[in-house]
A and B are shown apart, each in its own frame.
Chain A
């Protein structure tokens, strides 16, 4: 069974641009979460989607948005990029969000560099 796939693996953008990251969950998984990982900050929760609906949102500005499609694939978008947005963006999938002890399966991430 294929794992969580994130594309692209690396991305270089300049300040003010926007970016879209893609995540394909494990087949059969309907919940997708996004995290921002930076050195010293660990993983910061961005948002969680289930059945095309956002169920939880972290404390990020409105420049960060996401969506989920009917096939459970998810995208996140960051508009008006800032230098501080440089980070590894990780996507994780699970069967369903209401299983609180459910383990997450992570992709390898998209490394975003903002110049």
Chain B
């Protein structure tokens, strides 16, 4: 079985501040991990993914995430928030079955 927990359904940061969105997973096999972003009235689009190899993964729009097996975490970060980052972010895990999503974190950027 596999599952994803996203800590914090809502996160607010000031423009220019660090963005940190938390994701913890469970999987009975080595997981593939993903972060997707959903802008208002749109579908989801892939930000980044971890498959194997380097544990620090860089994605689009300046986002990156680090896979920490010992902590079963895959937190998403961005050094400096921009107004355009306001969206909902979903962490997802795939072991050997379907892709399982977390409940999402809505990111608000304060001007």
Residues of A within 8 A of B (CB): 4, 33, 35, 40-43, 45, 48, 56, 58, 90, 92, 100-101, 103-104, 106-109
Contact = CB atoms under 8 A, between A and B. Distances in A.
B7 to A, nearest CB: 13
Contact of A106 (B41, B44, B98): B44
Q: By DSSP majority rule, is chain B's interface helix, strand, loop, or mixed?
A: loop
Interface residues of B, number: 24
A101 B49 contact: yes
Interface in B30-80: 32, 34, 36, 41-46, 49, 51
A106 B46 CA distance: 9
B34 A103 contact: yes
Interface of B: 9, 32, 34, 36, 41-46, 49, 51, 90, 94-104
28 contacts: A33-B98, A33-B99, A35-B101, A42-B90, A42-B103, A43-B44, A43-B90, A43-B101, A43-B104, A45-B98, A45-B100, A48-B98, A56-B97, A56-B98, A90-B44, A100-B32, A100-B94, A101-B94, A103-B46, A103-B49, A104-B36, A104-B44, A104-B46, A106-B43, A106-B44, A107-B43, A108-B42, A109-B43
Contacts of A104: 36, 44, 46, 99
